[in-house]
Amino acid sequence: MISNERTYEVITYGCQMNVHDSERIAGLLEAAGYHPAAEGTTPDVIVFNTCAVRENADNRLYGNLGHLAPLKVAHPGLQIAVGGCMAQMEQSLVVKKAPWVDVVFGTHNVGHLPELLERARREGTAQLEILDSLVAFPSTLPVRRESAYSGWVTISVGCNNTCTFCIVPSVRGRETDRRPGDILAEVTQLAGQGVQEITLLGQNVNTYGVEFGDRDAFAKLLRACGEVAGLRRVRFASPHPAYFTDSVIAAMAETGNVMPSLHMPLQSGSDTILKAMRRAYRRDRFLAILDAVRARLPEAAVTTDIIVGFPGETEADFEATLDVVREARFAAAFTFQYSVRPGTPAGAREDQVPHAVVQERYERLVEVIDAIAWAENKALVGREVEVLFATGEGRKDGTTRRLSGRARDNRLVHVAVPEGAAVPRPGDLARATITYAAPHHLIADAGFTGLIRTPGGDAWERSVQRS
């Protein structure tokens, strides 16, 4: 049954930027009088916030839309909206493939969603609105944050690069930067609400400042975040190797609340493939950045993105990627099998690598990455780390009497709670000694010390009481 009170559900695909956009979508809907749907109930509005970058994104979307067609017949009041990068890219194709969709909106007009839903309900016809440029910076919109102690802060949207495998510039537009004062006002407000950790977001976060001509703007922003009272952890995603400056490394090393973790997309270790990708750096430049970071921050954990099977990739090219992986000693990697993105130069190439070859290389890459990550994690056994406890990190916490969170270097840590000990809340901090290492997580079964009940934990407690 659809309840009398209008309710919503947002389903998110893709990157951290999309996750934060979904918080904006939820905020807009709540400002318009909607409420989150209770688990197990049918919402009045289902919004898909889509991705055009991740593998099989279109198949996943249309498959889920297909499953909703009979639900819509059973519940005539149900509305379905599709937004995000795929909506921006495919536009009217969404309604053509799934005519039961009520609203299609793009990346530049998220703020119009409530109005479009109302118009579709009033007129009884699908509403399609895709704008070519940004209407309002997303951070000016209402937001319903998923976490009381950790938050995303967008500092720029769009991208000025022309990577041949990527559709982002087409769907997000050219880079638009927020003014530093607006960013710091949001960060300060979040810290005042109990947020302990922020992640600065941008398509290429370290090109921040290009719009107002300040090459060191991102480094200055990191240092400014270090002056915000109550803010314990600052992270950022994702930088571009071609624009990574010594001033950013210095800011990371000299700003106490900027965390010793770095996600630096490699994509390929072959200079030939990097050139074909139009990535404006080469293998040696990438490794030199890691050396410079580790010289100032020896404890830094570095993660990356790698694409396997880019058109024209030879066995020698792939072996070059493995060589960089071995030298870089990544703590983790997001690995992707190349898939064609219509409208990209790489997608039009005739030298696509056969799927069987891509699959075999992918499996070899994952095996090497996992072995290195495990060895790096084993080196931490016996070491004490600071853990910021979180929700949703450990799937078995209830049965193992462990609580999960992230170390300063962003590694996942599962911490045992001794019988009778005070239980940390999400957002609280403590120190724990690592007793066991797996490839993708650490375990601290000796318990914890120095528990700090933070304003973030207080904020989490209040949010639970309200719900």
Structural domains of the chain, count = 4
- The whole-number average pLDDT for the span 230-242 is 96
Q: Give the distance from CA 148 to its chain's centroid.
A: 17
**Count of residues in the chain:** 467
pLDDT of 361 > 60? The answer is yes
When pLDDT is cut at 50, 70 and 90, the band that residue 138 belongs to is low
CATH number at residue 242: 3.30.750.210
* Structure-model confidence comparison of residues 2 and 392, the more confident one: 392
* Pick from 429, 403, 405, 399: nearest CA to 416: 403
**Cis peptide upstream of residue 339 (ω within 30 degrees of 0):** no
Asked, for residue 138, whether it belongs to a domain, the answer is no
Q: What is the pLDDT of residue 2?
A: 39
When pLDDT is cut at 50, 70 and 90, the band that residue 356 belongs to is very high
When pLDDT is cut at 50, 70 and 90, the band that residue 137 belongs to is low
Q: What is the pLDDT of residue 1?
A: 34
* pLDDT-above-90 percentage for the chain: 73
Residues 316 and 421 in one domain: no
pLDDT in tens, 66-77: 989 999 999 988
Residues 412 and 310 in one domain: no
pLDDT in tens, 1-42: 334 579 999 998 877 788 888 888 999 999 999 999 998 899
What is the average pLDDT score of the chain? 91
Q: What is the pLDDT of residue 307?
A: 97
Q: Give the distance from CA 193 to its chain's centroid.
A: 22
38, amino acid identity: A
pLDDT in tens, 197-222: 999 999 899 999 999 999 999 999 99
* Pick from 81, 97, 177, 169: nearest CA to 129: 81
Residues 87 and 109 in one domain: yes
CATH number at residue 445: 2.40.50
Contact (Cβ atoms closer than 8 angstroms) between residue 218 and residue 443: no
> How far is it, in rounded angstroms, from Cα 172 to Cα 158?
5
Q: What is the pLDDT of residue 55?
A: 57
- The whole-number average pLDDT for the span 291-303 is 98
Asked, for residue 1, whether it belongs to a domain, the answer is no
CATH number at residue 359: 3.30.750.200
Last residue in a domain, options 319, 349, 379: 379
Asked, for residue 252, whether it belongs to a domain, the answer is yes
Residues 113 and 173 in one domain: no
pLDDT in tens, 419-451: 889 999 999 999 999 999 999 999 999 999 999
pLDDT of 56 > 70? The answer is no
pLDDT of 128 > 60? The answer is yes
Q: Give the distance from CA 40 to its chain's centroid.
A: 27
Range of the domain at 445: 384-466
